[in-house]
Amino acid sequence: MFTRTELEVKSLRALRDLCLIQYGIQAIGNPADKASYINALLTFPVVACKQVSENKGLKSPMLSQVEALEATLEAMGTPTPEQSALLKVTMEGRKLEYPARYSQEKLFGLYRVKWHLDTALEILGML
């Protein structure tokens, strides 16, 4: 992350911007003091890792919730050869005329949902 030396050479404004704008963290102590921002920048990684181990904030879903995602993915089915072809031309940027474009966009949206669910389940399986 950051070293104390790297941070000490920065101005108060640069430290404030780094904390508040870049990372969205508050100074620890007096916001008019450089050390308050330096301490915040040096400690936030440790605090964040501790929060993960304490199951605070962002956390893994329960097994039943992952199984519900798997069931949703299974219920969505797989595209037919014609739907696969339409998805390919859609990804090439080709559009149907209305009103068929509504179905094309719906199919593409469903494909994207299925792809994201599959990716999410793959990532959750690695955790």
Instruction: Report pTM.
Output: 0.72
Could you tell me the CA-to-CA distances from 51 to 15, 47, 55, 57, 59 in Å, in that order?
A: 24, 6, 6, 7, 10
pLDDT at 1: 83
CB 37 within 8 A of CB 27: yes
With 0-12 / 13-18 / 19 or more C-beta atoms within 10 angstroms meaning exposed / middle / buried, residue 9 is exposed
- Greatest C-alpha distance within the chain: 64
Could you tell me the CA-to-CA distances from 39 to 10, 14, 20, 100, 119 in Å, in that order?
A: 13, 14, 13, 58, 37
> Could you report the average pLDDT of every consecutive run of 10 residues in the chain (127 residues)?
94 96 95 95 96 94 94 96 97 96 98 96 89
